[in-house]
Structure 1
Amino acid sequence: MLSLFLAKRFFHSSPLASTTSRNASAPAIRIATVGIAIGLAVMLITVGVVKGYQREVQHKLTGFASPIEVFDPASFSSPESYPVVTDKAIRDLVSQTPGVQRVQRVSEKMGIFKTKDDFAGMMLKGVAQDYDLSFMRLQLVEGELPEFRDDRSSNSIVISRMMAKQLGLKVGDRIYSYYFSDVVKQRRFKVAGIYETHLHQFDKTFVLTDLYTVNRLNNWLPEQSSGLEVHLHSYDELPTVQALLAQKLDHRADRYGRPYRVISIDQHPRTASVLAWLEMLDLNVMVILIIMICVSGITMISGLLILILERTSTIGVLKALGASNRRIRHTFLWFASFLILRGMLIGNVLGLGLLGLQHYAHLVKLDPAQYYVEAVPVSMNFQWLVGINLASLLLMMLAMVLPSFFVSRVEPAKTIQFD
């Protein structure tokens, strides 16, 4: 292990080991180390921020909607909702599908809110006692969530802060709503709570109430609803579960002849554009990773070449003593690996430190009107952390192989004579 021994001696006597070193390679090696550290830190921060942002927005989308929905296909091309039978038999059929965590009924009805001074269009979303309200509790900013059921009316609604500001409403106020079908129907509700998700496609129109009220407004039977929201144990199982549900329900009709259709959240008109935009962020991440690895590799190559040029006399002596070009190359590759690992250590401390600071202190804020969240979210995952470090180390070491062949051009007679 002569190569490793010499590399350790070079490393401990390198400019990094002394702040007073006047070697010609000192600036280049320090720049290379700093370049690796900054490059790795930027890569960690980029991946952590993008993955955290994707997770946060995806969580909001699936919290208010669901990864998979089962509806009448006519409902997707019409402002009005069409009923399908969602009795216990259908719900059990869906819930028994592998990967399904929870199945819940929803009913929808378009209408208008009218106050003395203003009006606003809205979509009344009715839910029952089987609906998981944990997400809405997290988004609630004022008031409380009523008990929503399918067998009686609560006469209460939960509206968005955007709609409350538009109509000048607060918790406890009462408001009239109007619905148009064959005849105009009127209903008065009490504002029980106000939510805010920062997702405009939901905050702008959606109002939460009980399933019983919406079914009455639609003149539907108790066994009917607009459809089912299907939540999964893992979002990664979405394609598999959708395919299984499609085999069971697509092209199948209920007892009244209404067809079922299974659609995923990335196909739904309300959410498809947002999810497509989130997927495009992965391309931006790849571009940044490639650029940072290239910059780090170039600075390291420059530092290694300068170091080899500075150590030509040492290389000449080693060759005169019988050391082969291969062994000398291995010596400088070991030395380069020490520098790379030192830079990566600094980069990990810097990158993970900044990610942790943002995660707990929320120092960097965002405009929720544009980005759906109030602060930059971060995600720290052990798998991608190890993956980035291993990939960076491997690629930079491969980049060192070519400049290491420069030692074969050193002639012992000339370098020793020069000294």
Structure 2
Amino acid sequence: MNTELFISRRLFFEKSSKKLLSRNIIKIALVGIALGLAVMIISVAVVTGFKNEIREKVIGFGSHIQVINFDSNNSYETKAVSRKQSFLSGLNELDGVKTVQVFATKPGMIKTDDYIQGIVFKGVDDAYDWDFFKNNLVGGRLPELNDSARSNEILISKQVANLLQLNISDKVVLYFINEDESTPRMLQLDISGFYQTSLEEFDNLFVIGDLQQVQRLNNWRTDQISGFEVVINEFTRIDEIEQEVRNTVLDYSRENDAILRTTNITREYPQIFDWLNILDMNVWVILILMALVAGFNMISGLLVLILERSKMIGVLKALGSPNWSIRKVFLYLSVFLTSRGMLWGNIIGVAFIVIQKTFEVFKLNPTTYYVDMVPVNFSIVHLLLLNAGTVVATFLMLIVPSYLVSKISPDKTIRFD
């Protein structure tokens, strides 16, 4: 039988201890632990939720990985590649690849009688995955595309519509300039719907329409496109899967084919993803501070427990118990008390996440934060790691204060009344 664990459990459930001074001090310590753990759970949930929300919005405009012409630069004016590639079957069979879809982009501008706005026309075909824009649709409907004829319908952002004073079903004129032409090309298209992601950098830029319109503007054949978008299942594997995509493209390439290269969304928009990575540092600062607060709260409680139980310590020493055995009694007791505080911390933290996820109580200014409410991400893995980390950190911080047990003399404490 574990004697130390048995004694600590008796002390933990002892009813007479409610009259001791340490009981009130322990309550204060437990409140600190509960609030500290709740803050840690909420902080991790909010930051990971915010990162996921922004990341998914950026990916929605450009996918995880792109395969494009090697001669294409970082602008949206791209060099054509053939959509009939032998590596497509290999890409679709790669582990982690969800879909492979074609796209084409063309920079231009929208002009009305009073306003002008620079845009990028992104052309897609009828096999395009519209889930992202469907989830961010705020008015109208998605463009209807088919292979038989060019569609004149486009999807623009609500922000651009407000700026140019446009409504659904309005006709709008888009202007495009080719390098070898002095006269701009014009397209008169119909607005089928509005989307809104609150990412101004993208909302002000992208107009989504028919791939065949871009082919017409660039004098491309029907089998020519800007490149391929590869959508994957797990963002954490983006570098690994990009390498596999690159290897697959190289394996299937032929001598006379256009040279292709791969890029991923983190390299396309490094400023956004670097900013998101900086948020991790803020979380670590919060976690460390809250762990220190919880540890110091329990240190004060442990010291009071040892002083109040000095007579018991003296008796145990007189019976031959070594110092480390007695220290283990109080360390076990501290873990029990910490667990009680952590229970309430988990309840508070998880309750906040559930309430916010269900009712979206806390709102944000989308102009500043890119989202209109506080996003939260509940992860059982994060929850378990935070609880385990709190227990371990608190236990390690209590080892040194428990050394006070060795300073207590049995002959003095047993006679103390």
Residues 86 and 252, structure 2, Cα contact 8 Å, conserved in 1: no
SS at structure 1 position matched to 2:63: coil
Matches within 5 A, 1:14-413: 18=18, 21=19, 23-87=20-84, 89-181=86-178, 182=181, 183-249=183-249, 258-268=258-268, 271-413=269-411
2:9 is the alignment partner of 1:8? yes
Residue-by-residue CA offset, 1:256-311 (whole Å, 9 max, x unaligned) = 7642110011001xx22111111111121111111111111111011101111122
Residue-by-residue CA offset, 1:192-218 (whole Å, 9 max, x unaligned) = 111111122220011011011111011
- Letter paired with 2:188: R
CA RMSD of aligned residues (A): 2.0
CA distance in 1, matches of 2:256, 2:168: 40
CA distance in 2, matches of 1:190, 1:405: 78
Residues 32 and 303, structure 1, Cα contact 8 Å, conserved in 2: yes
Q: 1:229 to 1:265 in 2, by over 3 A?
A: same
SS at structure 2 position matched to 1:76: coil
- Letter paired with 1:99: G
SS at structure 2 position matched to 1:117: coil
Q: CA deviation at 1:175?
A: 1.2
Q: CA deviation at 1:79?
A: 4.9
CA distance in 1, matches of 2:319, 2:339: 30
Q: CA deviation at 1:28?
A: 2.3
Residues 127 and 150, structure 1, Cα contact 8 Å, conserved in 2: no
Residue-by-residue CA offset, 1:81-110 (whole Å, 9 max, x unaligned) = 221112253433432333221111111111
Residues 151 and 212, structure 1, Cα contact 8 Å, conserved in 2: no
Residues 150 and 211, structure 1, Cα contact 8 Å, conserved in 2: no
SS at structure 2 position matched to 1:77: coil
- Letter paired with 1:116: D
Which ranges of structure 2 fall in alignment gaps of 5 or more residues? none
How many residues align structurally?
413
SS at structure 1 position matched to 2:100: strand
- Letter paired with 1:274: I
CA distance in 2, matches of 1:205, 1:114: 14
Residues 250 and 262, structure 1, Cα contact 8 Å, conserved in 2: no
CA distance in 1, matches of 2:132, 2:48: 20
Greater shift in the superposed pair: 37-46 or 87-96: 87-96
CA distance in 1, matches of 2:255, 2:196: 39
Tell me the TM-score normalized by structure 2.
0.93
Which ranges of structure 1 fall in alignment gaps of 5 or more residues? none
Q: CA deviation at 1:381?
A: 1.1
Q: CA deviation at 1:314?
A: 2.0
Residues 251 and 259, structure 1, Cα contact 8 Å, conserved in 2: no
- Letter paired with 1:191: I
Greater shift in the superposed pair: 395-404 or 288-297: 395-404
Q: CA deviation at 1:2?
A: 3.1
CA distance in 2, matches of 1:325, 1:248: 65
- Letter paired with 1:41: A
- Letter paired with 1:414: K
Q: 1:309 to 1:129 in 2, by over 3 A?
A: same
Greater shift in the superposed pair: 137-146 or 149-158: 149-158
- Letter paired with 1:418: F
Residue-by-residue CA offset, 1:143-190 (whole Å, 9 max, x unaligned) = 111222344211111110011011100001111111112032111111
CA distance in 1, matches of 2:175, 2:320: 95
Residues 197 and 370, structure 2, Cα contact 8 Å, conserved in 1: yes
Greater shift in the superposed pair: 118-127 or 319-328: 319-328
Greater shift in the superposed pair: 53-62 or 1-10: 1-10
Residues 104 and 130, structure 1, Cα contact 8 Å, conserved in 2: yes
Q: CA deviation at 1:133?
A: 0.8
Residues 162 and 204, structure 1, Cα contact 8 Å, conserved in 2: yes
Residues 150 and 210, structure 1, Cα contact 8 Å, conserved in 2: no
Tell me the TM-score normalized by structure 1.
0.93
CA distance in 1, matches of 2:215, 2:239: 31
CA distance in 2, matches of 1:134, 1:342: 44
Residue-by-residue CA offset, 1:371-419 (whole Å, 9 max, x unaligned) = 2211111111111211111121122112222222211111111122332
